[in-house]
Amino acid sequence: MANALQDGPEVGAVVESLDIDWSRHGKRVVTKDSTNGFSLDAIENTAIMEWSAHNANGFRFVSAPAETSTSLFAEVGREDNGVFFSDDDKDD
Question: Can you spell out the DSSP letters for 58-70?
Answer: S-EEEPPPGGG--
CB burial readout 68-84, b (16+ within 10 A) else e: eeeeeebeeeeebeeee
Which of the two residues, 48 and 89, has the higher pLDDT score? 48
Q: What is the pLDDT of residues 29-86, one digit of tens each?
A: 998 988 888 899 999 999 999 999 999 999 999 999 999 998 999 999 998 987 778 7
Flag whether 1 is in a domain. no
Flag whether 53 is in a domain. yes
Flag whether 75 is in a domain. yes
Full residue range of the structural domain in which residue 71 is found = 11-85
The answer to whether 82 and 55 are in contact (CB under 8 A) is: no
How many domains is the chain built from? 1
Flag whether 91 is in a domain. no
Flag whether 78 is in a domain. yes
Tell me what pLDDT residue 87 has.
62
Flag whether 72 is in a domain. yes
Residue 25 has pLDDT above 90, yes or no: no
Q: What predicted TM-score, i.e. pTM, was given to this entire model?
A: 0.62
